[in-house]
Structure 1
């Protein structure tokens, strides 16, 4: 490997390390990263944005013109929020919802008074109401914002809760009571301290501040350097390019395209790169090994978090008495999450037995459940769930 390839390898591993918590946090809420845009924060974030977005399957990156000082800028733009919460334990139903509404009204008056005392006019105050709901027998509650129809009328909280629960966990608990844990209201005082300034539309070439050779994954590229303040609304910059301003540096990678928005922010469109599958090398690439190690480990950890959050058993939820892992086509261990290791010894044998038993009869969507000691199991109470994945 050349010096450039080694340096690029370090960057790739760092990018994948950043991708891992993004996937975890997004998938924990029942969302797919590819359905969202990547927003950058900090002075260095835009340097990694294109590579991270591509790794996450995203097609768009949004970079605020003040991303390097976004916290300070946000303090000037942010509204003032007052919240009040009151515990209320009851089974969800018409009577409990009516009682919750009465408590909401009292709390709404309280937050409005607090905002009025801070100098906000009533027309600049908006309010939101929430119920914290959970299924009976579980301790995972979801804060549900009051759902409204287009005409402003309320929709049943329970319907919204069930939809959110299914989105996050992938299933519904049939025949289970829904419990109200507490009532929460939020009052928002709308501020106008700072207002974004729109740019005038422009055309024509933009001054290039410099030309540099920059190494990307596929080699060296002649890369122009621009200043953000030289662009006007609608300008398009095709990668590779470097865009600098006083608080951040933006890297537009090859095959990507940056567009200056109405308010001077940058939108980068990511073009997916489909690489031709190569025959495996005798000597594994250490960089790719590290990257895939992060990805496989992230999958195993996500399996464990889902199991823990959806379980009712104390052994699973609190003692974490389980193991989650990925296995290869030969039933060899690929990656395991940091769970109870005692189960891992038997899991490989269980997977191997199931592969031999079912042979070519496995199909997409099949789930195998076993606890048979002769089929690789360790104890009868230890149940192994195996889900085959096909390429």
Structure 2
């Protein structure tokens, strides 16, 4: 029986399966198939078929998906409505009134998630202390509910001002909406994100409302396909926070899937961090359309609640701090109005794909450049034939205007791409006050190993690790996950003089709800690991620092411990702290992690198991000329092999470039370790 991880990307759908009852050397099956944008669930079934796994052989399936993210970015979802308090109709458009580009007079804000004609205001108001300031006008609400019903809208966000302090009015709004529109899907802001600051709460609730029908429809179709083929296994979905939840919970909480796909890569990085006893790593993932980078400290991904879907669209649910840019194998090279070569963020995606795929693409892509330079094989390691002539023709469209040879232009494309990816690493590290030189880089993605050395060199990272499952790393990471739920709530109080009883009561409430969610997902809440945090700041500051809280019942003696923990975290994030200013608590968070009782993956199953056979030869372009280099195919490298560049290492679902100035070694797990000579 198989434990299956699946990850859907813009170009490929990846699968990694672990056969729990087999000897370790036979336990792994993988697949990489083209994604099916017309119905992404078809790609999942094709990946299972490619791996030779019948749905009735699955014990559980963990699925990372970009369904929610893509639908939001493309605004491809049924029209939702918003009901809010009078005077707050345009919060989604006004935002924070900041400029993304300070000196660009032509910048335009992204389209709002809910159009203005479908945003309705009602008479009501709750106070910041949870008291009723203005009663809810129920007759007015019913009249507007009828308008929403008559427009055919069946997904509604309810975001009332100050509802984080009391959800009484929002719950009554839901009752009335359900009477008028019985089949409505309704998202309440105090249930979605009960935190102070209305923009983040309104936006996150709008996302939930918009995604309820999209994610629900996709999950239902996938479950139906699996059931039709005989599967009775539970379906789990990768969450943005680095854990997983049941498909039923995912249908109710689609806002927690924004980074579902990349989160699998962070989980794979955490597994590798433990395996190699390397606590601090930067995880990178080069896919077909995007590049992601994330930091792990002490084997755990850094979490943020300041993520922005787009400019001025904050998503205030805890999620891994993953930075994404448009840079991948399908990224298109082009020449700007100033005559400079650029790469991305536009991508050829799965359809039509790079020119060399022979599916109708004509624009020069990163994959075309790698093929022209000989860095990937013309048969894509046995998957399907690539059209070298079409790649050369595509790259020539940028080479000729620049007065360069096709090979020189292709090398330039890869250099620019590597610099773009290095900037993402610097961004995710410098924004958190970290130095990338203190980290090892783990390179994931089918194209991760192709660009790992140049990207790491530019970012200042000395050590690179490319695991044997790099090409399907997000799918691999999915099956290493535990169920995880993060619950938050507003609890504003100066730390000095805080009501300890109320403090403990709110933490207890959040923990109880987290354990309920674990039980709903099939985990044993009695064995769960529960961590507690407080979002804290100096009085007068605008942003908070997440601070760990002591375990157990808090007492007056705990206050000093909490204060010094805040000082430590503030110094870590900003480089400074002061004991002279008053400290306040703003929000509380409880993180609960529970296991489904699965067996651990045997890491020896990832070993290379190579024969140490002789490499083949290929002409590859390095530093301005084609040179003959050794090419080590899948399964040819033995453990503890040492390779001096230039060389190529081909894996089942990817390839690794070892340039002339680098060397590579293998370890007993089949990992490729790269560093300068």
TM-score range, shorter chain: 0.5 to 0.7
1:191-218 deviation per Cα after TM superposition (whole angstroms, max 9, x unaligned): 4366143169899972234211222237
Tell me the TM-score normalized by structure 1.
Answer: 0.60
Maintained 8 Å contact 1:86/1:184: yes
- Please say if residues 537 and 584 of structure 2, whose CA atoms lie closer than 8 Å, have aligned partners that are also in contact: yes
> How far off is 1:101 after superposition?
3.5
Alignment of 1:50-199 (within 5 A): 50-93=453-496, 95-96=498-499, 99-122=502-525, 124-146=527-549, 156-173=561-578, 175-191=580-596, 192=598, 195-198=601-604
**Cα distance per residue 1:325-354 (max 9 Å; x no partner):** xxxxxxxxxxxxxxxxxxxxxxxxxxxxxx
Task: Identify if the C-alpha distance between structure 1 residues 118 and 25 changes in structure 2 by more than 3 Å, giving closer, same or farther.
Answer: closer
Structure-2 separation of matches of 1:134 and 1:170: 15
1:54 deviation in Å? 0.9
Counterpart CA distance in 1 for 2:610 and 2:477 is 33
Residue 147 (structure 1) shift: 6.4
Provide the secondary structure at the position in 2 that maps to 1:229. coil
1:16 aligns with 419
Q: Secondary structure in 2 aligned to 1:180?
A: strand
**Inter-partner Cα distance in structure 2 for 1:135 and 1:8:** 50
Measure the CA separation in 2 of the matches of 1:220 and 1:97.
Answer: 71
Q: How many Å separate the matches in 1 of 2:606 and 2:468?
A: 15
Conserved? CA contact 1:233–1:264, under 8 Å = yes
After superposition, the Cα gap between the structure-2 partners of 1:81 and 1:242, relative to the gap in structure 1 and judged at 3 Å, is: same
Corresponding residue SS for 2:546? strand
What per-residue deviation string (whole Å, max 9, x for no partner) do you get for residues 135-178 of structure 1?
Answer: 21121112223368xxxx98823223222322332333553222
The separation in 2 between residues aligned to 1:147 and 1:250, in whole angstroms, is 45
Tell which deviates more after alignment, 257-266 or 38-47: 257-266
Shift of 1:96: 4.5
Q: 1:208-264: CA deviations, max 9, x gaps? A: 342112222375443211134333433333322211122111112223222323332
Deviation at 1:187?
0.9
Secondary structure (helix, strand or coil) at the match of 2:410 reads: helix
Distance 1:157 1:207 in 2: 59
Whole-angstrom CA distance in 2 between matches of 1:226 and 1:18: 26
Cα pair 2:466 2:671 within 8 Å, conserved? yes
Task: Provide the rounded CA distance (Å) in 1 between the counterparts of 2:631 and 2:585.
Answer: 57
Change in 2 beyond 3 A, CA 1:234/1:158: farther
Contiguous gaps of at least 5 residues in structure 1? 272-391
Supply the distance in 2 between the matched residues of 1:123 and 1:242 (Cα, whole angstroms).
50
Q: Verify the 8 A CA contact 1:76 1:194 in the aligned structure 2.
A: no
Aligned equivalents of 2:409 and 2:519: distance in 1?
A: 60
- SS of 1:249's equivalent in the other structure is strand
Does the CA contact (< 8 Å) of 2:609 and 2:635 recur in 1? no
Please, which moves more after superposition, 77-86 or 119-128? 119-128
User: Structure 1, residues 296-353: CA drift from partner, whole Å, max 9, x if none?
Assistant: xxxxxxxxxxxxxxxxxxxxxxxxxxxxxxxxxxxxxxxxxxxxxxxxxxxxxxxxxx
The answer to whether the 8 A contact 1:199-1:232 is kept is no
1:366 matched residue in structure 2: none
Aligned-partner SS, 1:179: strand
Is residue 270 from structure 1 mapped to residue 673 from structure 2 by the alignment? no
**1:252-310 deviations in whole A, cap 9, x for unaligned?**
22232223233323222235xxxxxxxxxxxxxxxxxxxxxxxxxxxxxxxxxxxxxxx
Q: In the aligned structure 2, how far is the partner of 1:264 from the partner of 1:203?
A: 8
- In terms of mean alpha carbon deviation, does 232-241 or 76-85 score higher? 232-241
Shift of 1:98: 5.9
Measured in 1, the distance between the counterparts of 2:499 and 2:477 equals 39
Give the secondary structure class of the aligned counterpart of 1:39: strand
SS at the partner of 2:488? Answer: strand
Following superposition, the deviation at residue 32 of structure 1 comes to 0.6
Partner of 1:279: none
Alpha-carbon RMSD:
3.0
1:258 matched residue in structure 2: 664
Alignment-derived partner of residue 249 in structure 1: 655
Q: How does 1:198-209 map to 2 (within 5 A)?
A: 198=604, 206-209=612-615
Structure 1 equivalent of residue 629 of structure 2: 223
Cα distance in 2 for partners of 1:204, 1:64 equals: 14
Distance 2:639 2:497 in 1: 53
3-state SS in 2 of match to 1:223: strand
SS in 1 for 2:474: helix
Partner of 1:45: 448
Hey, what's the Cα distance between the residues in 2 that align with 1:189 and 1:219?
A: 54
Report the alpha carbon displacement of residue 31 of structure 1 after superposing the two structures with TM: 0.3
Aligned partners of 2:673, 2:459: CA distance in 1, in Å?
17
Secondary structure of the corresponding residue to residue 668 of structure 2: coil
Matches of 1:246 and 1:100, distance apart in 2: 53
What is the TM-score of this pair, normalised by structure 2? Answer: 0.36
